[in-house]
Amino acid sequence: MFAALARLTTARPRLLLLTALLLLIGAGLLGRGVGDHLLGGGAVDPNSASARAASALDRDFPGSRPNLVLLVGADRPLDAPEVSAQAEELTARLAAEPDVEGVSSPWSGGGATLRTADGRHALVLAHIRGEETAASDRFERLAADYRGTHGALTVELGGSVAVRHDMQKTISEDLVRAELIALPITLLILILVFGSLVAALLPLGVGILAMVGTNAVLRLVSSATDVSVFAQNLTTVLGLGLAVDYGLFVVRRYREELAAGASPARAVTVMLNTAGRTVVFSALTLAVSLAAMLVFPQYFLRSFAYAGIPVVLLAAFGALVILPAALVLLGTRVDKGDLRAPLRRLGRRLRPGGASAPTVVRESRWYRLSQAIMRRAPIVALLTTGVLVALGLPFLGVQFGTADDRQLPKSAESRQVQQVIRDQVDGRPTGSIEIVVGAAQQAEGTADYSARLSALDGVARVVGPAGTFEHGIRSAPAGPAEAGRRAAGSAYISVVPAVEDLSAAGEDLVHQVRAVPAPGPALVGGQTAEVVDAKHAIGSRLWLAGGLILLTTFVLVFLLTGSVVLPILAIVFAALSLTAMFGAVVWVIQDGHLSGLLDFTPTGSIETALPVLMFCIAFGLSMDYGVFLISRIKEEHERTGDHRSAVATGLARTGGIITAAACVLAVVMFAIGTSRVTNTLMLGSGLALAVLVDAFVVRSLLAPAVLALTGKATWWAPAPLRRLHERFGLSEGGPVEPPAAPEPRVPVSAR
């Protein structure tokens, strides 16, 4: 396969580059405006009881789930005749809007529960019909008409549809800013690493191809299924990061072959048969880690597989097809645009006529570092492992929850409205636990059930077809509104919590409600119930996702190395590289340390799905670097048979590449982490920390120390598995075929 790829890229480089350009233009046109087709939710398990309750409510009790809140204030008392008249007119106008239903307010029978405690504001609740994209579009139209001043009234907009709209808008704006930050810094780092403007632009071009191509894929996928807007962040992170990873590895090996005297075509052929194989294994390992998210039912997690798999494959495609074609055409001109001439003395020593390549490697700082580490292997291994484990200890106190409006910046209008409701409104009218009870046509059949629900700790009141209940007794009889809570042989009951709905107390209340016997088949829904069901869905499938990642990673690394020890070590190294990330997530995001500096509001919990997402991405990236290091060590071991020398040489050959790639990837992730949305801040900053720890601690210190301790046993495998690897395994340094049309040797002076 690699020999055929070498023949293709060396024989038709111009055709390949022209085809890539046309594909890039087509993908850009197809993926244009993809953010407008992505959704802001996706945390709900569509097969859960809460999701079925939501469907039943929308079908039998339209408008029963308010997702829009108008926070109405006035410059005079709300009961003043003029204010009441204008508020009634506003409520009636909203009720007459197409695709708006279930409008309720204090001026339409909503009662005192829709007023704030200070009497300065009142709530108008409504439900905008349609799925998330349609509801968001309708909200945007309504916002233009209702936000602002209406006579004596001032109106601000909130509710779940407003929060999602603000979330999507904020993330899209932040993503543009992140790209503007990351691209120039990435180019600067690449110039410092390569020393050549031409060489630095090559990985950047691959990254643009991967990002634009993935946007086109997301546009196609979003036409068939729901895709989260957060997936765009992953497109930017992995598109640039992997392009740099693979580009550095490919261009570095190409330059080594040129320095050894090979022609450009021959250098590309050798590079594809060595570094190219590593890129394939690396891409497969990362793609498998991301594909594991497909086992979860929530489209929020599945979306990262939709985005991650194509961006990985496109980055690998660019590095193995487009980049080699460009290198063949550039030849030795890949070093054009030398911007760091004073720092290139070491690079010149690699050329014929200077010191030999092995001598330069042995004199490099990475080689000397690895030798020093291996002489003190037990101490280094124990110290680094102990520090990494200690950094992860805060994760033992993790509290899982869900993100709410407080992950938006304080200036967001929807957050300000929700904060008024949180602080000033009796109970949580927009966070009720909703119950659909089947076979309950008679109102009194639900009276005893409602009374028992209202007696639970943490319940403010229960509203159902039998009236309103508080503290176990009926506090108000059923009126016309309550009578409408019966339809199609079922009843609809709202449990208004007295505690924060999206909290541990709110989740405990859901469990208590579900434990109360109902007069018929009951479905318990609402936002808090959706969180409880989502946590169960993720927890019940974690073993499957983790098992798939570990098994496929083990198999791929075994096929690359032929050892059963190295795959185990690779998995352990990758796991240890994640400890600092998870510890920091809890210490910073959940517990609120540095919240003032980073300008976010801690809620005492973290989004349930995010650690799963961060594990899959960070584990895959760690294995990405691990494959780079292990493959080069194996190549040197096969060449010399000296284990310690192979470890030192492998680190010397890849240490600079891995750390440079990690720095670029960390820059991109930190740029994403500048987002004003807390979840995105956590995702970007956490992944950046994991990448830096992996490159500077795990690969640079822990790996050589442990490999020195394992010694020759590193390469052990049972005889049956050795025979299996000899037949099916792939490794670097395979047979190298010359290109179809060998080029003449380039004189040293031309290089």
Pairing of strands 486-487, 433-438: unpaired
DSSP characters for 396-456?
Answer: GG--EE---GGGS-TT-HHHHHHHHHHHHBSS-TTSPEEEEEES--SGGGGHHHHHHHHTS
pLDDT at residue number 749: 37
Rounded to whole angstroms, the Cα distance separating 6 from 324 reads: 8
Q: Are strands 400-401 and 606-607 parallel, antiparallel or unpaired?
A: parallel
> If pLDDT is split at 50, 70 and 90, which confidence band does 391 have?
very high
Half-sphere exposure (CA, 13 Å, Cβ side) for 573? 34
Residue pLDDT, tens place only, 186-230: 778 877 777 777 877 888 888 888 889 999 999 999 888 888 877
Closest CA to 516 of 477, 467, 482, 469: 469
pLDDT band at 694 (very low <50, low <70, confident <90, very high): very high
DSSP one-letter code for 470: E
Please enumerate in sequence order all residues whose Cβ is within 8 A of that of 184, keeping only pairs 6 or more positions apart, or say none: none
Nearest alpha carbon to residue 679 among 41, 126, 156, 24? 41
pLDDT confidence of residue 685: 92
- pLDDT the model gives residue 443: 46
Q: What is the pLDDT of residue 696?
A: 93
- Supply angle C-alpha 501, 107, 488, rounded to 5: 65
Q: What is the pLDDT of residue 733?
A: 46
> Which one has a higher pLDDT value, 391 or 260?
391
Q: Is 325 helix (H, G, I), strand (E, B) or coil?
A: helix
- What DSSP state is assigned to residue 566? H
| pTM > 0.75 | yes
**What pLDDT sits at residue 743?**
44
Tokens of 392: 């992860």
> Within the chain, what is the greatest distance between any pair of CA atoms?
98
Model pLDDT, residue 186: 79
What is the per-residue pLDDT across 431-448, written as a single tens digit (0 to 9) for each? 788 999 886 545 457 888
Residue 125: CB atoms within 10 Å: 22
Q: What is the DSSP letter of 67?
A: -
pLDDT in tens, 584-616: 999 999 999 988 888 888 888 888 888 988 998
- Judged by average pLDDT, the poorest of 249-258, 345-354, 477-486, 579-588 is 345-354
Average pLDDT over residues 92-97: 90
pLDDT band at 668 (very low <50, low <70, confident <90, very high): confident
Cα 661 to chain centroid, rounded: 19
E-assigned strand segments in 578-626: 606-607
pLDDT score of 506: 85
pLDDT in tens, 159-170: 888 998 898 888
155 beta partners: 72, 148
What are the pLDDT digits (tens) for 334-379? 777 666 555 445 444 433 333 344 545 666 788 888 899 999 999 9
List alpha helices for 516-587, DSSP H: 527-561, 565-577, 579-584
Report d(CA 311, CA 307) in Å as an integer: 6
- Phi first, then psi, for residue 591 (nearest 5°) are -85, -15
Predicted pLDDT of residue 200: 79
- pLDDT on residue 353: 37
- 383 has a pLDDT exceeding 80: yes
- Identify the band that residue 564 occupies on the pLDDT scale cut at 50, 70 and 90: very high
Q: For the residues 519-528, what does the mean pLDDT come to? A: 87
**Residue scoring higher pLDDT (501 or 678):** 678
pLDDT at 732 over 50: no
Q: Which residues pair with 121 in a beta bridge?
A: 73
CB-based contact 441:489 (threshold 8 Å): yes
Continuous segment of H or E residues that includes residue 502 = none
Side-chain half-sphere of 264: how many Cα atoms within 13 Å?
A: 19
Taking the C-alpha atoms of residue 171 and residue 684, their distance in angstroms, rounded to an integer, is: 12
From the CB of residue 335, how many other CB atoms can be counted at a distance below 10 Å? Answer: 19
Return the pLDDT at 362. Answer: 61
Distance CA 628, CA 624 (A): 7
Domains of the chain: 2-39+165-355+366-402+533-728 (1.20.1640.10), 67-158 (3.30.70.1440), 432-525 (no CATH)
Query: Cα–Cα–Cα angle for 580, 581, 587, nearest 5°?
Result: 85
Enumerate residues 6+ apart whose C-beta is below 8 A from 241: 207, 621, 661, 664, 665, 668, 669
Strands in 310-376 per DSSP E: none
Could you tell me if 302 and 534 are in contact, meaning their C-beta atoms sit under 8 angstroms apart? no
Edge-first strand listing for the sheet containing 153-158:
100-104, 121-128, 68-74, 153-158, 148-150
Rounded CA gap, 573 and 567, in Å? 10
- Summary count for the chain: helices (H), strands (E): 28, 14
User: Whole-number mean pLDDT of the chain?
Assistant: 83
**pLDDT band (50, 70, 90) for residue 428:** low
**For residue range 450-461, what is the model confidence (pLDDT) as tens digits?**
899 999 988 888
- Per-residue pLDDT, averaged over 66-79, amounts to 86
Average pLDDT over residues 498-520: 86
Distance, in Å, from the CA atom of 630 to the CA atom of 704, rounded to the nearest integer, reads 11
Following DSSP, what letter does each residue of 43-73 receive, concatenated? Answer: -S-TTSHHHHHHHHHHHHSTT-S--EEEEEE
Backbone angles phi, psi at 461, to 5 degrees: -165, 165
Average pLDDT of span 115-140: 84
CA atoms within 13 A on the CB side of 575: 12
Mean pLDDT on 136-144: 89
Torsion of CA 548, 549, 552, 556, to 10 degrees: 180
Per-residue confidence band for 310, with pLDDT thresholds at 50, 70 and 90: very high
